[in-house]
Amino acid sequence: MNRSPRRRVLAATLSAASAVLVASGAVLLSAGNANAATTLGASAAATGRYFGTAVAAYKLSDSVYSTILNREFDMVTPENEMKWDATEPSQNSFSYTSGDQIVSQAQSHNQRVRGHALAWHSQQPGWAQSLSGTALRSAMTNHITNVATHYKGKIYSWDVVNEAFADGTSGARRSSNLQNTGNDWIEVAFRTARAADPAAKLCYNDYNTDGINAKSTAVYNMVSDFKTRGVPIDCVGFQGHFNSASPVTSDIQQNLARFAALGVDVQITELDIAGSGTAQATSYSSVVKACLAVARCNGITVWGIRDSDSWRASDTPLLFDNSGNKKASYTAALDALNSGGTTNPTTSVPTTSPTTVLPSTSNPTTSPPATAGCSATVSLNQWSGGFVATIKVTAGSAKINGWTVGVTLPSGAAVTNSWNTTASGSSGAVSFANVSYNGSVNAAASTEFGFQGTGVGPSATPTCTAR
């Protein structure tokens, strides 16, 4: 979503293990609910989750703002400071000052950081808005690579792609300049982010997807396809912007659970609820409880600290009033957290491809023979001027302990990045070798790696040599 200071009108349809305890907020009550924590972050941490907030760098000097931030929250999301227009205002000229300020502040208070957002149709710099086709696709991958590499090791999770699906009942992709580069642009963005920062969780983030509807089902189908084909996606973010026209959905828990069943973490990423008093408090409580009931719902982020910090301040949608006082909604959220729930399992980001993977839905060049040694097939996602190639390596009748795959690229094609492999060469005859975690493949089992390139992708069957 477009955040303060860049506001937009809220449409009537818009609905729109254990973490480190915040040092100043980890005090436990000795009476009442046993072991009840006194801050949002500490209470969420007791169930293996986080409770975070959106942060604006220019507000960090506000003592009331920073005091609440450092006391209550154990995860932060930059509001605007890591978006494309902020980090690359001129092509190939990167600016990280404000983003770095937020990261430094978070690290000094034992808070983790959600990066937001690498690819989005909105808040693009003017130079990117003027691009299209191959030029825009290349600019996007270059941007993702540079920004994710700059923050490598400092980001808990990235909103890799933000708001790529259209509103309404069609379930279609949003019409945008990025979508016009080819329907595989989201996949390319995720693969590029994984190559740049293998340790960060990679998320898709959207609004009006909180309940089961056409838009959320379209996202669900995309995630299911990605998991089937080995596209690196670790989490899905549900923004959680609610008002009287679009209240908290009765099926929010069911929706979170169906995504979690796909094998991804789910997160409430931009929660704010218009209103006041008991009604608002009840809504906050219901969202928190829905997350607590789903084991893989591993965190909640509210979009701002005080009502006056909100991108829709007149709706008074947050947990603290303009003066920084706790509202009834704060107490309701904290009580819901302290009531406990399904313990969130400790999950790590899959920086490896599993030894056995489901077959690609793309059309492989050949079916691998069941013989000793190994064989390889290639599946392509091709657009004008570039491609992503997924290579499936299959062991023959005996286990292999390593492999090397040879690929011949057409004239003019070049490898720009790769994942789950070590590449030698970038054009013509290129070889790819296993890395430490995917060299051992059982008889008749498979593993996959991939690479991205410019030009036209390879069509000939790759060679495979086993060790």
CA distance 260 to 257: 5
> What DSSP character marks residue 58?
G
- By DSSP bridging, strand 75-78 and strand 112-120 are parallel
CB 263 within 8 A of CB 227: yes
CB 421 within 8 A of CB 451: yes
Q: Is residue 345 classed as helix, strand or coil in its secondary structure? A: coil
Q: Is residue 90 classed as helix, strand or coil in its secondary structure? A: strand
Catalytic site residues? 270
Strand partners, 206: 238
The amino acid that residue 452 corresponds to is: Q
CB 454 within 8 A of CB 385: yes
Rg of the Cα atoms in the chain: 23
Nearest to 160 by CA among 206, 117, 224, 114: 117
The amino acid that residue 341 corresponds to is: G
**Residue 162 region by backbone torsions, left for phi larger than 0, else alpha for psi between -120 and 50, else beta:** beta
> What DSSP character marks residue 59?
G
Instruction: Output the six-digit token pair for 60.
Output: 């960090």
Residue-wise DSSP of 103-140:
HHHHHHTT-EEEEEEEEESSS--HHHHT--HHHHHHHH
Distance of CA 81 to the CA centre of its chain: 17
> What DSSP character marks residue 321?
-
The total of other beta-carbon atoms located within 10 Å of residue 314's CB is 9
Instruction: Output the six-digit token pair for 90.
Output: 């001129």
Nearest to 49 by CA among 264, 295, 290, 229: 295
Q: Could you identify the residue written with the tokens 């691998």?
A: 368
CA distance 336 to 350: 31
